Structure 1
Amino acid sequence: MITGNIGFLIFTFTSVFVVVSPISGVVTFISLTSKMTHEEKNQIAKKSVTLACLIALFFAITGSIILDLFSISVDSLRVAGGLLLFSIAFDMMHAKVSRESITEEEISQSLEREDIWVFPIGLPLLTGPGAISTVIVLMGSTESIQQKIIILISIIMTFVVCLYIFLFSRRIHKFIGYNGMLVFTRLMGLLLAALAVDLTSTGIINIFYLTK
């Protein structure tokens, strides 16, 4: 049981981390906070990551209620979420910032705003439609309370790592370099594409099986 839970924790943490992909958002975070002092940047990092984590936890906990409210099955969300994640992964594999997360126009308009920790960093850069779909699907895929708690722990772990990545974003960018960021973004895009295919195929198979 312990081994099974550890394996499930690794799976859920990896799934959420790949979708959130904080290292891919480092360049955007640096550009949005380039004119700020070190203390101001850290405050933005803490507030934006906290907000993103709370949003992800909220949808993880209430996701099943929302699906029931609109009479949407988990498998339908698997297919829709898988297609959305694949479009994000496609952009990442071409080393582009996904338009699902944030557009270049939104980045430029946000440079003079003071609430960038809410939009666009907290939402949708960290917790966008892809991340929200993923946590809802993960929670809807299990009936075990123990596994649901593990999923919530995975979400918290992801954003704790994300916080430290943003706090040390300038050092990470300096150490890895621009080319290193491109390589990492493409690698995360490949893993995200695999996750997207798995979600979509599982959803289609389950829908087809249930309708037979």
Structure 2
Amino acid sequence: MAVRHLYIARHGAADAFGELTSAGQRQANLLGERLARLPINTVWHSPLPRAADTALTIARHVASAPLIKAQELIDHVPWVPPNDEMPSTMRGFFDGFGRDDAAEGHRIATTLIEKFAAAPAAGDDTHEVLITHDYPIAWLLRHALETPPIRWFGISSANAALTVIEFRPEHAATLVMFNDMSHLPVELRWTGFPPRIRP
């Protein structure tokens, strides 16, 4: 039975212009060193520069794996609750999201799941790296755990933290790890989180 192993990470720390900072470059390099121990088949990445640059650094460590841009991994809001179901604590976050924005975000989220959240059809195990953003990771995790759509909200990933999900035919997805930062020194952990909530 072939298993699809997804190694999912948020891009390295970036500045206000979306470019990797020196800390983000170090994070990407350390994540690449960790992933180099695995039989990676493909490194997929969001088209946004902070993710593309992170993936390029990782690809240098897993040189035999192709580097492929995937539109499905772009930063997006995957699901907006209907107004009558939206908790009051969430309303401010979704201010300015119109119906068209919400529909486009959910369309991308649906294609993300269709492309990546399934077991291999046949053949050997696959080992794929996905370099993306906070919200797509939350949506993939919510889907793997089979929780309601609203549960994506509030799941956060640190920069260059590793989440691993496995998909097997006719089995529920397996969450192997979430937000693991053991490859990062203390000063590079928990970036991407507001200082007030960093552990």
TM over 0.5: no
Q: Which structure is higher in RCO with an 8 Å CA cutoff and minimum separation 6?
A: 1
- Structure with the larger strand share: 2
Structure with larger Rg: 1
Q: TM-score range by the shorter chain?
A: under 0.3
- Structure with the larger helix share: 1
- How high is the TM-score relative to the length of structure 1? 0.24
